[in-house]
Amino acid sequence: MSITVEAGQEADGGKVAPRRRRHWLSWLIVVFLAGWAVVRVTGAESGSFLTQLMTLTPYSPVPALIVAVALVRRDRRAAIVALAACVTLAATVLPRAFAAGEPATGGTSFKVLTINLFGRADARAVVELVRRLQPDVFSALELTYAQVAALDAAGLPALLPHRVLLDERGASGSGLYGRHPLRELHGLFTPIGHNMPAAEVSLPSGVKVEVVAVHPNPPLGRMVEEWNASLAALPPPTTGPIRVLAGDFNASLDHRAMRDLLAKGYHDAARQVGQALTPTWPNVRVMPPFITIDHVLADRRAGVRAVEVLDVPGTDHRGVFAELRLPS
């Protein structure tokens, strides 16, 4: 007596082996990875899922490579597609691990610190950071009335006596604290999302800098279009004072909206010094940060000398400190 085994079947208790299922599952994964690469390169993300998926792009070359290796003997065509996706995704990510040029050394120093305070950051720890780093401007997000009072009690006014605050009871509050005089700017742009104060900083050298505290709502659910509009509304650099955008953008360099903003004439400070892959959120005990959404964007006329990403007790965001060099 003989048993005939058809293609895609095994003589194992009369059960059909899932070879064909595995084949389609492999291709489903490969198509997903290839689609990810296409969306990232073309900037075709739309809707909440794809927009949030883009923040994970720095990790995507690894699974793409694993899939390519796993399929090289079973399905070479699928392996080639997966490898192509891996190379494409890696090409968008790996340059961020290297400095875009030599760190700037000449020009007027201008230091910026930005922290999403989460409404309950450890005020003493924040003030100690300010004392150590000596920023010219501190962009504070999710700045509540209670947080303002706690920072004042911890001694912030002695270090940064000037302020333009739009604090609130909840997460919408934001503010700018300055070592030097600040003049609030009105009508620079129309904020969409949280409060986003803007101010002109007058440095002792006579140089003026315009700073915006940035904090759009996150691209969750129906807020995706609002998030896109918020980033698009941010003002471009001009031929006037150097302009700096600092805050929680709820966006990574893998988002089209962020790249469009940079194309207006900014560069990401962390990218310039090879630290753009350092994650900033969520910085909590049970989970280390894994996405990079907090940034200092500087007018391209400014150089970047150094960037430091900082742990801040009490908040789920890391802070970002950048020392810029302004042209004379």
User: What are the structural domains, with CATH classification, of the chain?
Assistant: 19-96 (no CATH), 104-326 (3.60.10.10)
Question: Where does residue 235 rank: exposed (0-12), middle (13-18), buried (19+ CB within 10 A)?
Answer: middle
Q: Which residue has the tokens 């759009």?
A: 216
Q: How far apart are the first and last CA of the chain?
A: 93
3 with 12: CB under 8 angstroms? no
SS (H, E, C) 82-122: HHHHHHHHHHHHHHHHCECCCCCCCCEEEEEEEEECCCCCC
Average pLDDT of every residue of the chain: 94
Q: Name the H helices within the chain.
A: 19-42, 47-53, 61-71, 76-93, 123-133, 145-153, 156-159, 224-233, 256-263, 269-272
pTM of the model: 0.93
Beta bridge partners of 298: 244, 267
pLDDT at residue 18, rounded to an integer: 64
Is the pLDDT at 175 greater than 70? The verdict is yes
pLDDT in tens, 267-322: 999 999 999 999 999 999 888 999 999 999 999 999 999 999 999 999 999 999 99
Residue pLDDT, tens place only, 113-168: 999 999 999 999 999 999 999 999 999 999 999 999 999 999 999 999 999 999 99
- Integer Cα distance of 26 and 9 in angstroms: 18
* Chain centre distance of CA 323: 18
Over residues 88-102, the pLDDT tens digits come to 999 999 999 999 988
Query: How far is Cα 294 from Cα 279, in angstroms, rounded to an integer?
Result: 9
For residue 201, give Cα distances in angstroms to 124, 152, 277. Answer: 25, 21, 30
Q: What is the per-residue pLDDT for 84?
A: 98
Q: How confident is the model at residue 22 (pLDDT cuts 50, 70, 90)?
A: confident
> For position 4, what pLDDT does the model report?
44
How high is the pLDDT of residue 17?
A: 56
